[in-house]
Amino acid sequence: MWFHTLGAHLGVAEVGRWALLLSVISTPVLPQTPDGFAKDWLALLHYTGEQGAMRSEVHDPSFFLADDGVRDPAREWKEDRRAFLLPANGRRGEHAQCRFPARFALMRRALGWSERDVPHVECPELAAYERRLSATSLSVVFVSSYLNNPASAFGHTMLYLGSGSERSATLSDYSVSFEADIRGMSAAEYMRRGLFGGLIAEFRVEPLYLRVRRYEREEQRDLWLFPLKLKQEDINQFVRHLWELKGITFQYGFLRGNCAQKILAVVHAVAPAYEVLPYRRAAVLPAEVSRRLVEQIGTAASPTRRPSLWSQYSRQVARLSPEERRQLEAMEASRTVVDGASPATLSAAMLWSEFETPYRAFGRAAEGGADHGDLAWRRALWASRVAAKDAGTSDSTGSEEESGPSLLESHEPSSITLRGGYRRGTGSVLNVGARWLLHGAVDPPMGYPAVSGLEVAHVEFGVSEAGELVIDEVTALRIEKLAPALGLQSHLAWKFDIGARRLPYDGALPLHVGAEIGVGAGAARVRPTYAMALYSMVGVRPGATIARGGTAFLPSGLWTGGLLLRLPADFRARLSAEYSLSLRSFRGGTGVFNVVARKGLFRDLDLELVATLGAESPGVSVGLVSFR
Domain limits of the chain?
2-122, 132-306, 320-390, 411-627
How far is it, in rounded angstroms, from Cα 517 to Cα 498?
9
Average pLDDT along the chain, 628 residues, taken 10 residues at a time? 39 46 47 62 90 85 92 93 87 86 94 88 93 94 74 80 77 90 73 74 91 83 89 96 93 76 92 89 76 90 82 80 86 81 85 65 50 66 68 43 58 90 82 89 81 88 82 90 74 90 66 90 81 93 77 82 92 93 71 92 91 82 93
CB-count burial class (<10 Å; 0-12, 13-18, 19+) for 355? buried
Cis peptide leading into residue 358 (ω within 30°):
no
Strands of 47-108, DSSP E: 47-48, 55-56
Count of CA atoms in the C-beta half-sphere (13 A) of 523: 0
The Cα–Cα gap between 343 and 387 comes to: 9
Cα 458 from Cα 500, distance rounded (Å): 10
pLDDT value at residue 191: 72
- Which pLDDT value is given to residue 379? 74
Q: Give residue 504's pLDDT.
A: 66
CB-based burial label for 370 (10 Å; 0-12, 13-18, 19+): exposed
Top-tier CATH class for 411-627: mainly beta
Q: Return the SS3 of 187.
A: helix
Instruction: Judge if the upstream peptide bond of residue 285 is cis by omega within 30 degrees of 0.
Output: no
Cβ contacts of 549-552, under 8 Å, gap ≥ 24: 549/508
SS3 of residue 527 by DSSP = coil
DSSP class of residue 150? G
Q: What is the pLDDT of residue 166?
A: 61
φ and ψ at residue 186, rounded to 5 degrees: -70, 160
